[in-house]
Amino acid sequence: QKEVEQNSGPLSVPEGAIASLNCTYSDRGSQSFFWYRQYSGKSPELIMFIYSNGDKEDGRFTAQLNKASQYVSLLIRDSQPSDSATYLCASRAYKYIFGTGTRLKVLA
């Protein structure tokens, strides 16, 4: 059973801090990785995707991939209360596999 695992949280961080969200995957054949943000009552929204080892930055978001450790992370700098949501990690080999999500709470 191929899996993507995330800590369900909630992860609470103060406003302005860095939020670090982590994800591990079991399928070594996974080629690409995605982070989605889902607000309560809304559908998932793609934030970032990453294919290569290392870091990928987009504004306040940085995705990190370590294929040797089968580990993906998402860093959110200068966290805002509006970042409070559930963050879903997904991997793709021949199909998408989603994690159960980490609930982030940014405290004002």
Partner 1 sequence: SAVISQKPSRDICQRGTSLTIQCQVDSQVTMMFWYRQQPGQSLTLIATANQGSEATYESGFVIDKFPISRPNLTFSTLTVSNMSPEDSSIYLCSAYSGVQETQYFGPGTRLLVL
Positions in the binding site for partner 1 (CB under 8 A) = 32, 34, 36, 42-46, 49, 88, 90, 92, 95-96, 98-101
Under a CB-based contact definition with an 8 Å cutoff, are residues 78 and 69 in contact?
no
**Residue with structure tokens 């294929």?**
67
Pull the structure tokens for residue 107. Answer: 């405290």
Kindly state the smallest distance separating residue 71's Cβ from partner 1, in Å. 19
Distance (Å, whole) CA 107 – CA 95: 36
Measured from the CB atom, is 5 or 60 closer to partner 1? 5
- Write down the least CB distance from residue 80 to partner 1, Å: 23
Cβ 72 to partner 1 shortest distance, Å: 15
Instruction: Give the nearer residue to partner 1 in terms of CB position, either 17 or 32.
Output: 32
Query: Strand, helix or coil at 82?
Result: helix
